[in-house]
Structure 1
Amino acid sequence: MANSAPRPPASEFRKRFLARQTVVGTFIKTPAPQTIEVLGDMGFDFVVIDGEHAPFDRTTTGYGLLAARASGTAGIVRVPDATASTILSVLDDGATGVLVPHVSSVETAQDVVAACRYRGGKRGFANTTRAGRYGAMGFAEHTEAQDSGVTVIAMIEDPEALDVIDDIVAVDGIDGFFVGRGDLTAAFQAPGMDAPVVRQAAEKIIKAVTAAGKTVCIMVGGKAEAEDFASLGASAFIVSSDHGFMRQAAGKALADMAELNR
């Protein structure tokens, strides 16, 4: 059943994200547009096309972003790395924003901003792309629309980033920060994401981000965990993935059907 509450248009996503309104998204692991269409139609505020851990290439990423537009949800791409060429490709293909992994230094954060912005940055210009409506938008219109509409989210997921977190979050041009509890758990060799060392790291990141007046994004297991992190200052939440939803629903259906044999 689709969400009955009206969802603001995807063009307003960055404005809502910066205002720290509650937004809910999910990861997309399947390189096909149909899952994005379904989840977008359900009412998710955004989807994150996972170019780091799923088998997306430029073509399938482009199809995914087209599906996001068709279903009215904001299409964010988790790029596999922070290089300017990688970021440029998804922005030209019409991404609403990028989720950039392993931003563990001020220099990397500054490079990410430069790759995403025209004014004050170094983004390569092209308006004959989906982002520029294939040439329908002129130079000024296109650069203004992209600089005002592209959402830049840096992932803090390395222990070394914690040592300079206040400096990283102060970098102008990054809109928000994702608390990467999964990679932090692995780096700390902790038994799980609820381990005290991971919790302390998450709280340190959230405190720094909120003090800088920026938005905290975090992946949660459900409502209870979202409420917990919302109380600390998080407002953008990623819940599960298309694979996760499929396993959950399929598992329940299979378990229900197994009761026929009892």
Structure 2
Amino acid sequence: MTPGFRDQLVGGAALFGSFIKTPSPHATEILGDLGFDFVVIDAEHAPFERHAMDTMLLGARAAGIAALVRVPALSGPHILAALDDGAAGVLVPHIDSVDKARELVTLSRYAGRRGFSNSTRAGGYGGRAMWDHVDMADRAIAVIAMVEDVAGVDAIDAIVDVPGLDGVFIGRGDLAVALQDRTPNAERVAAMTERVLQATRRAGKAAWVMTASAQEAARLQPLGVRGFIVSSDQGFLRSAASQALGSFRTACAAGV
């Protein structure tokens, strides 16, 4: 885990990161070198088994960047694996009720039902005394609920009031698909996003979004968004490669 990341998050700092979709530490090292605040290892939608995730978290530690894990589901073994391997926190998909929000916190904290071991990377491979490890982990781990279902939006006021929940990621893509909202600016999704932002501001919790532009980030920050996920390693590669290919083709065509 990366000391200070949760403190920055709950303290109101704007934090910038990216999804990691490729099971290799190189993109994480590059993003850390560039000064990104965090990465999110996407174990829900990308091919990350336990060994690959462990390697990624080691790479993040070497690069000095906080790494969170988007686990595949609300599952004790998935959350425990990410945190034992040294994740700074977890993003957990489809938290659509207050009961699931409570379960998420319970599974993520030693004060709840997180299984104890200090022989892991998170525990310094046994170098940290039991209660030092327990207390530090419960202070440092960031717990983020992904609200990406209509039911989750309907329950948002109760969800954000769950003690120990640090923030809410608004899954606007999932909401658009669930609503079949195909309008250009997804107006129903925008209304639901505003509803979630109102609830997070009231509760003093951090809101997270995936954003496509710096202009949108500047608009959303005053509304309480603190965690900005910008593209992904694959997205950055595709964008840069597309621009390079286009510029080379244009230049060479002009010279013919």
User: TM-score if structure 2 supplies the norm length?
Assistant: 0.97
Moved >3 Å (runs of 4+) = none
Aligned to 1:113: 105
Residue from 9, 12, 20 that aligns with 1:28: 20
Whichever residue aligns with residue 58 of structure 1, its letter is R
Aligned to 2:51: 59
Match of 2:141 in 1: 150
1:132 maps to 2:123: yes
Q: Give 1:83-232 correspondences, 5 Å limit.
A: 83-119=75-111, 121-191=112-182, 194-232=185-223
RMSD: 1.2
Partners in 1 of 2:150 and 2:185 — Cα distance? 16
Equivalent residue, structure 2, for 1:68: 60
Partner of residue 227 from structure 2, selected from 218, 236, 242? 236
Provide Cα deviations, 1:208-230, integer angstroms capped at 9, x if missing partner. Answer: 01100111111100201101211
**Match for 2:241: what amino acid?**
A
Distance 1:69 1:128 in 2: 17
CA distance in 1, matches of 2:222, 2:46: 32
Which 5+ residue runs of structure 2 have no aligned equivalent?
Answer: none
Percent sequence identity is 47
Structure 1 regions of 5+ residues with no counterpart? 1-8
Q: Which amino acid aligns with 2:99?
A: E
Separation of aligned partners in 2, 1:100 and 1:202: 18
Deviations 1:167-204 (A, max 9, x none): 11100011000011010000000116721100000000
Which amino acid counterpart does residue 193 of structure 2 have in structure 1? A
Q: Give how far 1:152 is off.
A: 0.4
Measured after TM superposition, the shift of residue 65 of structure 1 is 0.6
Q: Distance in 2 between matches of 1:113 and 1:193?
A: 36
Q: What amino acid maps onto 2:58 in structure 1?
A: L
Equivalent-residue separation in structure 1 for 2:221 and 2:96 (angstroms): 24
The count of aligned residue pairs is 253
Indicate whether 1:247 and 2:241 are aligned: no
**CA distance in 1 between partners of 2:21 and 2:162 (Å):** 30
SS in 1 for 2:225: coil
Q: Point out the more displaced range, 42-51 or 226-235.
A: 226-235
Determine the structure 2 residue equivalent to 1:256: 247
Q: State whether residues 193 and 199 of structure 1, in contact with CA within 8 Å, keep that contact through their aligned partners in structure 2.
A: no
State whether residues 20 and 236 of structure 1, in contact with CA within 8 Å, keep that contact through their aligned partners in structure 2.
no
Partner amino acid, structure 2, of 1:44? F
Question: TM-score normalized by structure 1?
Answer: 0.94
TM-superposed deviation, 1:248: 0.7
